[in-house]
Amino acid sequence: MPRRIATAALALLLATASFVGPLRAQETPDPSLELRDAYATLLGLDLDGEQPVRDGRTDIYRSNLDNPDAPRLVTRLEVSGNECRVRTTSALQSPGGWAVLSLTMMDLKRIDGAVAYGSIDDLIAGKNPLRPGDPSARQLVLRGNHLQCTSRLSLADEAGALVSSCHDRLDISMMDDAQVARVQKAVALMTRMCDIDALRP
């Protein structure tokens, strides 16, 4: 690996360490499996109810692909000592290509708005909004200033430059009734734990 890329990868790892270091120093208890699964649902890591590989306080999700030519995605999820914050570290790689590494932080305390829609068409048109807990909802949008911030590094980049960006929304798609039930359960848990007024009925 070129030295500049190795240096950038190290920078990404140091950013990770800055997130988890204080947690271990304070010896915080491991987050509950219910909480970890709720985050996985909101982030779309368990689209088909996939079970992760549990590793201490972290969960590892791998893409389940039948097509050997499709990109591979591995995502590591970890909840911080603050149960309203979560971090994911992921690697996305196409066969024969360089991997793209990403570190994303999300803070649910930043949520100040939420709206649901019954279809992707209604979402795009911004019409027929529903309350977040509506059982007929199939799209859920959570909004908040800098709700998610991501640092991304492509190992194909000789300069080894980190690209960082923040987003003010999280879009959650629900394809069937089982997924609707999982999302509603996750949202209800997070609303209670993080006292999110925008998600209250």
For residue 16, the one-letter residue type is: T
pLDDT digit string (tens) for 48-75? 667 899 988 889 998 866 777 778 888 9
| 56 CB-contact burial (10 Å; exposed 0-12 / middle 13-18 / buried 19+) | exposed
Structure confidence at residue 67 (pLDDT):
74
Mean pLDDT, the chain, as a whole number? 83
44 torsion bin: left (phi>0), alpha (psi -120 to 50), beta (else)? left
In terms of Cα–Cα distance, which of 50, 99, 97 is closest to 77? 50
Residues 98, 10: Cα–Cα separation, whole Å: 17
pLDDT digit string (tens) for 133-185? 898 999 999 999 999 999 998 887 666 677 899 999 999 999 888 899 999 99
Question: How many other CB atoms sit within 10 Å of the CB of residue 109?
Answer: 13
The pLDDT confidence band at residue 116, using thresholds 50, 70 and 90, is very high
For residue 154, the one-letter residue type is: S
